Amino acid sequence: MLKPGLPKLIATDLDGTLVRSDETVSAYTHEVLERVRAAGIRVVAATGRGPRLASLTRDDIRHADYLVLAQGGWVLDQAEGRYLRQARLSGTVLADVLARIESAAGPLSVIFEALEHDDSPLWGDYDPTWRYPVAFESRERADCLTGDVIKAFARSAKLDVDELLAVARRVVPADVATVTQAGLDYLEICPAHVDKGTGLAVVAEAVGVDPADVLVFGDMPNDLSMFGWAGWGRVAVANAHPELLALADDVTLTNDQDGVAVYLERLLSR
């Protein structure tokens, strides 16, 4: 149930939630988020985007106090300009995870995100279905697994992403790695105990806010963890994945209709 009054912190996913299908954020949304901060409510971006996309993320949510990146593995304090969390997955563990999944689902095309600097390239198996412009270096899997990575993306030629996620959830123990999907048609593999909920917990501890005072917005299965963590309210956009809609306390308009901003404006007017 949504609580009365106002939350102390709001966290929103970006792509598919705050960001519209044309990859823009409206002036209206920016203005409403500015008003949220002016009301004394902290604003946090909680996204699957890795730290290599931190500048793009700042542009899309200009009034964020914190950026929770890489599905919760990297947490940036904007005011201090420093990371409160920088999680990585060892190549050895990732090799084991990929072997577990491939033994059950068949061969995978894998892309590795290992570097954190702005516009750093991705490595691995180039896939023309990748939705966004990106710097890319084709590399053999063994080469990519020689060190730690931030996360990996895996795609099956025969299973859709929800089917692949179901397989991965079955064969990959939670204490080995976290598996999720964010709407890119790829399974995402992150370090164990890394998800948006644990990333937001880092922020909450830093600012002294209880999860019971946090409102979150999302659209995909990678938002399930923060829906399970936040206690003030969980709001899905109308275009959300069925798993998220099933857990939502409320549903707002779609991302293309500025659903997050519309909801927050109504909340501020209460």
- For 117-143, how does the pLDDT look when each residue is reduced to its tens digit (9 = 90+)? 998 999 999 888 787 778 899 999 999
What average pLDDT does the segment 186-209 reach?
Answer: 97
DSSP code, position 15: B
Res 5 pLDDT > 90: no
**Cβ pair 123, 137 in contact under 8 A:** yes
Could you tell me which residues come within 8 angstroms of residue 215 by beta carbon, excluding any fewer than 6 positions away? 7, 9, 10, 11, 230, 232, 233, 234, 235, 267
Q: What is the mean pLDDT of residues 174-195?
A: 95
Is residue 4 very low, low, confident or very high in pLDDT (cuts 50, 70, 90)? Answer: low
- Residue 127's pLDDT is 82
| Rg, Å, the chain Cα set | 18
Please state the pTM of the whole predicted model: 0.95
Q: Residue 106 carries which DSSP code?
A: -
Mean pLDDT of 229-256: 97
Question: Do residues 221 and 227 make contact, with C-beta atoms less than 8 angstroms apart?
Answer: no
* pLDDT at site 126: 84
Question: For residue 136, what pLDDT is reported?
Answer: 92
Q: Does 2 have pLDDT greater than 70?
A: no
pLDDT digits (tens, 9 = 90+) for 63-85: 999 999 999 999 999 999 999 99
What is the model's pLDDT at position 119? 84
- The region, left, alpha or beta by phi > 0 then psi within -120 to 50, assigned to residue 106 is left
3-state secondary structure of 201: helix
Q: Residue 1: its pLDDT value, please?
A: 44
What does the mean pLDDT of the chain come to? 95
* pLDDT value at residue 184: 84
Contact 42, 8 (CB under 8 A): yes
